Amino acid sequence: MKIAVLASGSGTILESIVASDVQVSLVVVDRPCRAEEVAAAAGLKVVSMYRSEWGAAFDRKRYSEELAKALLNEEIELIAMAGFGTIVTEELHRHYEARILNTHPSLLPSFPGWHAVEAALNFGVMATGCTVHLATVEVDAGPILAQRAVAVFEDDTAVSLHERIKEVERDLYPATIKLYNDFLDRGSVGQYRNYPKINE
């Protein structure tokens, strides 16, 4: 299937996806970032959909419509969000229902949102982890496909804990993309309860 990766940052997740031999057809970025360099080095086509507005001035609906159009023009069939910093609306989801994957640095449903690592530390949990799930209009609330736990140490900071979560993420996310890609290739899209799951 034709896979697009949506990125905003350092590109380390994109690097792990490419290194795992997932066949990426397109990379989309919403701001200047190292992910563009990673894509270029891998010979991947990049679409730069830079945001020029933020906060209340940002037309999220129009951006999501334009993003959907760009992906559909490239005949993209599956989307993997890789640290994509823009929350998209139903204008994208209605074209790609059950075909948008995301990775999140916690064991969802615990600690959704942008500051998940800090929230886990502040709560005092003994373990957190990484979750790969289907993205839905409601942020970090889609069906869970894969999870892996990461221990929290007494001397952990948000930075040290997040780095260990990223190590897990760079292994778990590409493996789940491959599994889900195969699942879709078999024409198995149906009820959420039928989606394959990897729980470790």
Q: What is the tens place of the pLDDT at every residue in 46-55? A: 999 999 899 9
Which CATH topology does 102-200 take? Rossmann fold (3.40.50)
Lowest mean pLDDT among 54-58, 94-98, 146-150, 189-193: 189-193
**Alpha-carbon span 139 to 156, nearest angstrom:** 27
Q: How far is the C-alpha of 100 from the C-alpha of 139, rounded, in Å?
A: 12
Closest CA to 84 of 6, 5, 166, 173: 6
Query: Mean per-residue pLDDT for 141-148?
Result: 96
- Write 23-31 long-range contacts (CB < 8 A, 24+): 25/74, 25/76, 26/2, 26/71, 26/74, 26/76, 28/4, 28/67, 28/70, 28/71, 30/6, 30/84, 30/85, 30/86, 31/85
162 tagged catalytic: no
pLDDT at 188: 54
In this prediction, residue 183 carries a pLDDT of: 87
Q: Of 197, 189, 194, which Cα lies nearest the Cα of 78?
A: 189
Fold of 1-96: Rossmann fold (3.40.50)
Give me the residue spans of the domains in the chain.
Answer: 1-96, 102-200
Q: How high is the pLDDT of residue 177?
A: 97
Q: Which of 93, 95, 104, 162 is catalytic?
A: 104
pLDDT value for 8: 95
pLDDT at 185: 77
